[in-house]
A = this chain, B = another copy of it.
């Protein structure tokens, strides 16, 4: 997606070997028009699978997930980063940027038996958060119809880890130093 690729080239900053800072338009200050456009693009890429719900993880996944859900006309569920307790499904996942493990939970009643769920997140890095979300959908008896990301860091192995799923990223970062970004859409458009 050209506009996102351009924003990453213009404003993205590598912090060390793995972290791409995009907090000027994606996950702190939010370019709402771009976010809406990303939501529309992801919605169109999965519309043929008729997702019935969009699932993400708080906090920064909420931004793209909300717009994907709006364009699909379905509800959005965001997993919380806290211990679940009774009535919740939960998984332990490493925080993508802080290293420590933390609990991710969703209320079981909000994931339906047989429901087609689209997983959306701002970043695809190692894929562990998406995998945890998918396994909660499946434990609830639902079906993951795909996974859509704004930015994939292709050097962290997430796509390989998620190889059982249809995975689409709007922009793919192949290297942070030097910064190499391309659209993720050629394969599917």
Contacts and interface: CB of A to CB of B under 8 A. Distances in A.
Given A66-B32, A69-B32, A23 B107 contact: yes
A155 interface: no
The secondary-structure label for the interface of chain A is mixed
Oligomer: number of copies: 2
B110 A74 contact: no
Interface of A: 23-24, 28-33, 35-36, 58-59, 62-63, 66-67, 69-70, 73-78, 80, 106-107, 110
13 contacts: A28-B106, A28-B110, A29-B75, A29-B77, A30-B75, A32-B69, A32-B75, A32-B76, A35-B66, A59-B59, A59-B78, A62-B66, A66-B67
